[in-house]
Amino acid sequence: MSLNAPVAPLSFVRPVKATLSVAIFSLMLGLVGCNKAETPEQNADATTAGAETEAADTAPANSEHVVTAYSSHHEQSVKPLLDKFTEETGIKVELVTDKSGPLMARLKAEGKNTPADLLMTVDAGNLWQAADQGLLQPVSSSILDANVPAKYRDPEGHWTGLSLRARTIFYDPSKVSADQLSTYADLADPKWKGKLCLRTSKSVYNQSLVASMIEHLGEEKTEQVIRGWVANLATDVFSDDTNMLKAIAAGQCEVGLSNSYYYGRIVAKEPNFPVKIFWANQDTTGTHVNVSGAGVTAYSDNPEDALKVIEFLSSDKAQGLYASANKEYPVKQGIDESDLLKSWGKFRQDDIGVQKFGALQTKAIQLMDKAGYK
């Protein structure tokens, strides 16, 4: 079976993985006239799809229910949420952590033999890529439909956003006043020459930001902006947002772009950190927001419980924990934000459907390379 073969919706599929030893043992049983099914999973497959769904809905959670999650989140940021899920449902979650690229490469290499039931990763661009490579299966969930706005979900149901992260402007208030700031594009103005710090273009966060700019401004205008950014750089690009923010604090530059939660993590430890946040594009498209999210893997052995994990993470309780623990914004509307997030003030979000970031990712990478953004 090809890895990219179409996968039926979750409610109709329950994949089975048989080892060679099981197959040989089954053949031996057949030769001696045994009429028993070879494995419990094969017994389950012999039932109708409707009966299987009913059993999944009514069976009590117990220690035999296990979900294996591949996650690009730091373990300390996601494990408390998964532990809370296990506490409430009895379904154990085994966590495997790595960066998004290696996890997706692993899923692709493992194919139908993967132990993974769930992929949890950051950025809609990564989620889109996982779906495009056939690594995720479509699901249907009225709970997710109710909890997560459509613009933060894959239209075909392969993945859903579970938290929001805003990528916006940060500045040194001793050198820059807020009324000098406005849009992402304005950072290309010569007035910022020698004053701008940026993370590398290899960051998927910047790729998604540029993808959103292509959607709003078109390729030609976006390329002009990127060339202006490069001309205004105060120093070489940074490998991560944290070091970029610290460079502003150290006086190495005056303005830069970062995801808000990196700033939140610094400020939580250093309340007097000498950098301020500014919400970009409030008079135009709104501040760029992206998601972290999850999807059920294409060859999950336990897709029903994997979906239960995702649904739990979209619940009021889990969304509140996201906001307080991870310094990210809840994806579900109406959830109270943490005091730290509230202190930054309300802001208008870009309304673009985040799946666009994946669809335009290749074009964004090519454009940044053409403009000399390393």
pLDDT of residue 307: 98
| Residue range 196-206: mean pLDDT, rounded | 98
CA dist 191 → 186, 188, 282 (Å): 9, 8, 20
CATH number of the domain to which 359 belongs:
3.40.190.10
| 75-108 per-position pLDDT tens digit | 988 999 999 999 999 999 999 999 999 999 999 9
How does strand 92-97 pair with strand 118-122? Answer: unpaired
Residue 87 lies in a domain: no
Residue 304 lies in a domain: no
| 103-130 per-position pLDDT tens digit | 999 999 999 999 999 999 999 999 999 9
pLDDT of residue 36: 34
Residue 73 lies in a domain: no
Residue 82 lies in a domain: no
Residue 161 lies in a domain: no
Alpha carbons 205 and 241: distance in angstroms, whole number:
10
pLDDT of residue 64: 64
The angle, 0 to 180 degrees and rounded to 10, between the axes of the packed helices 75-89 and 303-313 is 110
Residue 1 lies in a domain: no
Domain count for the chain, please give it. 1
Query: Given a cut of 90, is residue 56 above it in pLDDT?
Result: no
Per cent of the chain over pLDDT 70 is: 83
Residue 349 lies in a domain: yes
Residue 353 lies in a domain: yes
pLDDT of residue 47: 35
Domain with 274 in it: 166-287+343-370
pLDDT of residue 370: 98
Cβ atoms of 160 and 154 within 8 Å: the answer is yes
What confidence category does residue 337 fall into, taking pLDDT thresholds of 50, 70 and 90? Answer: confident
